[in-house]
């Protein structure tokens, strides 16, 4: 059986026909669908190149192929290429038995419409809060956000299967038929599992903080393109902590157009030498090394689904401090969460922790234990169960 996986991933295809991505969604990620389906077709936007960039991950491999749709940047270009995008997606889905759509994304509404028109059973993987896609309060973004939320809600109520990265939060935002009725059927079913990939060797021993004098905060986000992930909040928090006499620095993993502005902010606050931008890493092992070299993970994000970065940091034994939004309360102690822009609150809580290494060590132990709930072993069982339900439904419909 062949499944189309529609994703907002952008990739490049080299002259040999192989596809590559600059982020952590390569073959190791997509082969999870191959655990149940014999063939996987990843449908995403991209462009052709002679040679893929260094430090990128190959997407296609055994059991996993790619279909490249036209690359677009921004709403205007998306609108200009809409019909080309739709034709390419329809051709890809038509050649598959079923569809799994990762939502919310620029392509998910289109994919749902095509799946319905082709009468293909389909499932959704809800990986983020649809209300967080556009974070500014401009009239245009408010309208776009309203449309995305409505589209996601409607899609969840019509999809055969809906899997959420959270246990409770996203289900309350975008319920599906199974969550509303309180039970699964052969036709409509639900599940929950994170997108994170944590093999047993990813987990570390608890950290030791007693005797430490210098501390490093780490923040991870693939794209540093807006204030949505709270980068400036982290920088201002570091400045406050240094004013309080704590020897604290920060390392940002990721890259994007906002980096020069953030560097300027650090310069203005007089802490430029204590703020490092490490760049973007496609290789998860490099991200893990940055985590292991740090003491505290901080994510004052304005909105999330269930952030993989927090889970990865917890698995590495870091103390984690984050905003109290979306699915994050499913992960952290109430004391370790603040409102997204509460610089004083973050600084106060981190100062408390830095002054109490014993509490930090207890938090390290706790976080590792919580993160074990998201190990690849546990999540694979949940994912496979969900995919098997979809496969059985398709087989049943094909027989009738």
326/371: higher pLDDT: 371
332 CB contacts (<8 Å, ≥6 apart)? 310, 320, 321, 322
Could you give phi then psi for residue 100, rounded to 5 degrees?
Answer: -120, 125
Q: Which helix (H) or strand (E) segment is 400 a member of?
A: none
Strands 98-103, 122-126: pairing kind: parallel
Q: What is the largest CA-CA distance in the chain?
A: 72
Write down the H helix ranges in the chain: 27-34, 74-80, 82-94, 108-117, 139-158, 169-173, 177-181, 231-243, 259-268, 284-292, 308-315, 343-354, 357-371, 376-399
Asked if omega into 104 is within 30° of 0 (cis), the reply is yes
What average pLDDT does range 379-397 have in this prediction?
Answer: 97
Quick one: tokens of 385?
């169960």
Burial class (CB in 10 A: 0-12, 13-18, 19+), 170: buried
Q: Which of 73-77, 98-102, 133-137, 219-223 has the lowest mean pLDDT?
A: 133-137
CATH of domain 2-199+375-399: 3.40.50
Q: What share of the chain has pLDDT > 70, as a percent?
A: 99
pLDDT at 135 over 60: no
What is the rounded CA–CA span in Å between residue 198 and residue 192?
A: 16
Whether the CB-CB separation of 126 and 100 falls below 8 Å is answered with no
Q: How confident is the model at residue 375 (pLDDT cuts 50, 70, 90)?
A: very high
pTM: 0.90
Structure tokens at 371: 């993160």
User: Per-residue pLDDT tens for 13-28?
Assistant: 999 999 999 887 899 9
Sequence ranges of the domains in the chain: 2-199+375-399, 200-373
Residue 1's Cβ-count burial label (10 Å; 0-12, 13-18, 19+) is middle
Quote the tokens at residue 263: 């560097």
2-199+375-399 and 200-373 share one CATH topology?
A: yes
Asked if residue 136 has pLDDT above 70, the reply is no
Say what the pLDDT of residue 139 is: 79
The answer to whether the beta carbons of residues 95 and 55 sit under 8 Å apart is no
Q: DSSP per residue over 2-26, as a string?
A: EEEEEEEEEEEE-TTS-EEESSS-S
Domain 200-373: give its CATH code: 3.40.50.2000
Mean pLDDT of the chain: 95
Phi, psi angles (nearest 5°) of residue 46: -175, -175
Contact 144, 130 (CB under 8 A): no
């Amino acid at each position: 059986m062949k499944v189309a996986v529609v994703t907002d991933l952008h990739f490049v295809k080299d002259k040999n026909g192989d596809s590559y991505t600059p982020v952590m969604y390569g073959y190791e990620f997509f082969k999870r669908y191959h655990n149940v389906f014999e063939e996987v077709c990843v449908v995403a936007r991209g462009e052709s190149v002679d040679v893929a960039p260094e430090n990128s991950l190959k997407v296609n491999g055994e059991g996993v192929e790619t279909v490249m749709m036209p690359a677009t940047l921004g709403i205007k270009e998306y609108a200009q290429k809409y019909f080309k995008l739709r034709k390419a997606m329809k051709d890809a889905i038509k050649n598959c038995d079923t569809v799994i759509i990762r939502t919310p994304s620029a392509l998910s509404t289109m994919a749902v419409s095509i799946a319905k028109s082709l009468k293909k059973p389909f499932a959704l993987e809800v990986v983020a809060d649809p209300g967080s896609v556009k974070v500014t309060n401009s009239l245009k973004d408010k309208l776009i956000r309203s449309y995305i939320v409505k589209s996601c809600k409607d899609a969840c109520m019509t999809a055969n299967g809906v899997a959420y990265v959270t246990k409770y939060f996203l289900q309350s935002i975008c319920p599906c038929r199974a969550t509303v009725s309180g039970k699964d059927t052969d036709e409509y079913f639900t599940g929950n599992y994170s997108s994170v990939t944590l093999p047993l060797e990813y987990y570390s021993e608890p950290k030791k903080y007693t005797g430490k004098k210098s501390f490093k905060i780490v923040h991870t986000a693939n794209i540093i393109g807006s204030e949505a992930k709270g980068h400036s909040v982290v920088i201002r928090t570091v400045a406050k902590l240094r004013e309080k006499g704590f020897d604290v620095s920060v390392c940002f993993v990721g890259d994007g157009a906002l980096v020069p502005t953030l560097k300027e902010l650090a310069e203005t606050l007089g802490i430029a030498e204590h703020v490092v931008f490490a760049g973007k890493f496609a290789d998860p092992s490099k991200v893990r090394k940055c985590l292991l070299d740090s003491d505290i993970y901080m994510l004052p994000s304005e909105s999330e689904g269930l952030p993989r970065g927090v889970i990865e940091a917890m698995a590495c034994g870091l103390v984690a401090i984050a905003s109290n939004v979306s699915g994050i309360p499913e992960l952290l102690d109430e004391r370790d969460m603040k409102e997204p822009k509460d610089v004083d609150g973050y600084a106060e809580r981190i100062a408390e922790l830095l002054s109490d290494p014993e509490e930090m060590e207890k938090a390290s132990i706790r976080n590792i234990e919580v993160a074990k709930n998201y190990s690849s072993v546990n999540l694979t069982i949940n994912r496979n169960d969900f995919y098997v339900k979809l496969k059985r439904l398709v087989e049943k419909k094909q027989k009738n």
